[in-house]
Structure 1
């Protein structure tokens, strides 16, 4: 049956019932004396990773990212030292920081991976920095993306939780209560911007995640604090972008910026007394954020660097400086003719606007705690193993044990090493990056692709067509793409929506010149679980199978004529690529409670989940555990890769491990 017939036959039982054939009993391979050696290669990535920055007085407060415990540090600008620190008790990152009007209290909002039931809103009394911040409440939206404090000290928070529209939340310091004030846009998927005055709270949202499927575009609402009513005040030009990115009140003006997708991001300057009167500023780049102002000048960051603008003349000017690339900027504040820049590369930059000079202070050297970080893509050859993180790729020298952090913008979601050269798929909208060890410097961009095709998820090498293949998701528009890149020709191509307009391409595998794509759908509605065979040279579809899956494909691997697949919750299937038939299914939820990755090594297909490294019998497809309780510290799903000798690389906790597995399969 094809998908339409399956859904029709399922009737009221729905898609979950149609998925029943892929949830058969689990088969386990009989032990046959495998020889498995696990080598600990040390912490995978160590740095002070960060996600927010705010200047209060003469100290920049900086929130950590993807580290345990989450923490906020205070970097003192006059001495260029870390002078204070508080550890928080929940979540993985601190994206939102805001100070009350007196400068005494710093509020921090937390991002979490799951509903921990713990506070996600904290307050740190800066008059006694030696005392830890206190958890003061929890918003119903799991993640807090932005905070604002009104002149009377009332705190407002926005964020989101997968599957629900974001609300506006209020913390009253007088009563200590957190209150939901309503959902202004039921079709929005995430809110990342909030600002407040005595009378009004401004709420900015959109669909920077889980876009498409009817999700809202950039939207801006004014919340009347007296009446509790929301009013849509979105400038029409901003609605072409997927999401409001940042809001700030400066005097009698409201500054509103967006994240772009198919167009450049926008910056609008609105009159607070009459929001329908606004000035749209010309900008470049995919995002405008970190808004700060001094006098008649507005300063902001884009993915291309720092800019200033003057609304009266609608002029926008790049701010040049003599320092290094500032990377992904998470904090920008103006004081006394200097911009304090908090870089995702792990440093604070002080940029003298008039002189164009910059002083860079590495936070690790200044006293920030350098600790292991959760990780992303992994790749290895005979000499080096690489691990992707936030704005960094850690290079492990397999001969000497030396670890070097390579700076690369965004996140290396997956990677491959080809003839000693590392290639990565970089989120967000960074394309494919290349790094060749030696005197040539750090990673460099090898190929760019449409900006809305922003989230690379899986990479493999097509040795017939000599192409690097990348599975990609479009966060803002829905659907996805197949990227191809020829290292020999230094050329890249994007095939958009090769599965369909709803399904992202979450997994890719290649054999005999054919690319196999695994479809998934982050939204609650629409098709998922389609497997498509594609000619990667011209993008022509060869065949497809609509699998009856309640959840989409998480990983694919090929061995001989068989295409192995895992779903996002442990469903396992095998397709005979010659007959194009489904020949095996099983339920491996005990090993794969969520996302998984697979690789073929030494003619055996291996898989890794959040909990376990396992292999499949090449004849019976039965599963057996290679390393139990591996419990890798992953940020965006587990990964496993192999070097040219077939040794596997993955994570055990926060540590990179090499697994030399030589199974002897029984009958």
Structure 2
């Protein structure tokens, strides 16, 4: 008999004190928590279940944790409660952006007013075919949703932005055309600017930008670098020794870092050579590894089911 897995809990790490504090479990019926975002007063915790509510498990659930009272409040917009889980959270100015793993072919996005969480707007986006690129302008509060921004057969797997341009990386499972495509897209005009075939044997797993270059990693461990001003493929390499499958990347202090199921790695900013930062990281992620950084240049990911902080100071 297998033991029942514990519901996901909210944890807080204080880097100044080196302390980790548990704040409890907001929902005993949730089986997954995929998103956290915070303000100075509130932590938002996005949960749900891969079972889509089956077996008495939770569907999409959003909780607000008050840092002063130390209490959770259920704040999920009613329109989102039919979805499987909360997948993304972000604080943008005075708004909370909420994205779900949808029902059927649709995912949903909500923009919630941080001063009144009962005030919100909801939009739907297509997740079949080529998927959707969804944008929100915090100045005008305008939603835009572009269906099949690459084409109707290539779904969007990676997004990176610079100077008002969204760079999209695709995963093509149709059997026709390139396995991956890198596209520069104007999110205001809603049109493609240019595209490059990165000559990969599998779809894009992650994108990142450093200076004039778009870095991409494929699901079979291919690295590609696109020169933005020249709109050309500049570099390719096999990095399957450190990344094979889904991955994530972040640019930190002028260096592009990545994480796979097994390894934290980085790329030399001039030669693009890959090197290992942490081997055998083996993060216990669901649906792909994650990597982020803070304002001091420290990296965060997971080793097993434990949060780890990484300080890396390469001498290039």
Q: How would you bin the TM-score normalised by the shorter chain?
A: 0.7 to 0.9
Structure 2: distance between partners of 1:568 and 1:631: 17
Q: How many residues align?
A: 279
Structure 1: distance between partners of 2:301 and 2:63: 14
Q: What's the counterpart of residue 49 of structure 1?
A: 29
Q: What's the counterpart of residue 587 of structure 1?
A: 238
Q: Pairwise mapping of residues 457-606 of structure 1 onto structure 2 (< 5 A)?
A: 474-475=127-128, 478-523=129-174, 527-606=178-257
Q: How far 1:638 sits from its partner (Å)?
A: 2.0
Aligned partners of 1:416 and 1:422 also within 8 Å: yes
Q: What's the counterpart of residue 417 of structure 1?
A: 91
Structure 1: distance between partners of 2:88 and 2:120: 15
Structure 2: distance between partners of 1:650 and 1:387: 17
Structure 1: distance between partners of 2:45 and 2:277: 21
Q: What's the counterpart of residue 312 of structure 1?
A: none
Change (3 A) 1:529 1:430: closer
Q: How far 1:436 sits from its partner (Å)?
A: 5.7
Q: How far 1:423 sits from its partner (Å)?
A: 1.8
Q: Pairwise mapping of residues 180-579 of structure 1 onto structure 2 (< 5 A)?
A: 373=32, 375-377=33-35, 379=37, 388-390=46-48, 391-393=60-62, 404=72, 408=76, 409=81, 410=83, 411-419=85-93, 421-428=95-102, 429-435=106-112, 440-441=116-117, 445-450=120-125, 453=126, 474-475=127-128, 478-523=129-174, 527-579=178-230
Question: Where do 5+ consecutive residues of structure 2 fail to align?
Answer: 1-14, 49-59
> SS at 2:311's partner residue?
strand
TM-score (norm 1): 0.37
Aligned partners of 1:556 and 1:566 also within 8 Å: yes
Q: How far 1:574 sits from its partner (Å)?
A: 1.0
Greater relative contact order (CA < 8 Å, ≥ 6 in sequence) = 1
Q: What's the counterpart of residue 641 of structure 1?
A: 292
> SS at 2:269's partner residue?
coil
Structure 2: distance between partners of 1:384 and 1:569: 39
Structure 2: distance between partners of 1:482 and 1:648: 27
> SS at 1:518's partner residue?
strand
Aligned partners of 1:377 and 1:639 also within 8 Å: no
Aligned partners of 2:172 and 2:179 also within 8 Å: yes
Change (3 A) 1:446 1:616: farther
Structure 1: distance between partners of 2:296 and 2:124: 33
Find out whether 1:664 has 2:309 as its counterpart. no
Structure 2: distance between partners of 1:49 and 1:419: 32
Change (3 A) 1:560 1:605: same
Structure 1: distance between partners of 2:71 and 2:312: 28
Change (3 A) 1:607 1:422: farther
> SS at 1:592's partner residue?
coil
Aligned partners of 1:531 and 1:545 also within 8 Å: yes
Q: Determine which structure has more spread, i.e. the larger CA radius of gyration.
A: 1
Q: How far 1:572 sits from its partner (Å)?
A: 1.2
Aligned partners of 2:90 and 2:96 also within 8 Å: yes
> SS at 1:389's partner residue?
strand
RMSD: 3.4
Between stretches 385-394 and 497-506, larger displacement belongs to: 385-394
Aligned partners of 2:47 and 2:61 also within 8 Å: yes
TM-score (norm 2): 0.74
Structure 1: distance between partners of 2:262 and 2:19: 17
Q: How far 1:378 sits from its partner (Å)?
A: 5.2
Find out whether 1:625 has 2:276 as its counterpart. yes
Q: How far 1:565 sits from its partner (Å)?
A: 0.5
Aligned partners of 1:379 and 1:649 also within 8 Å: no
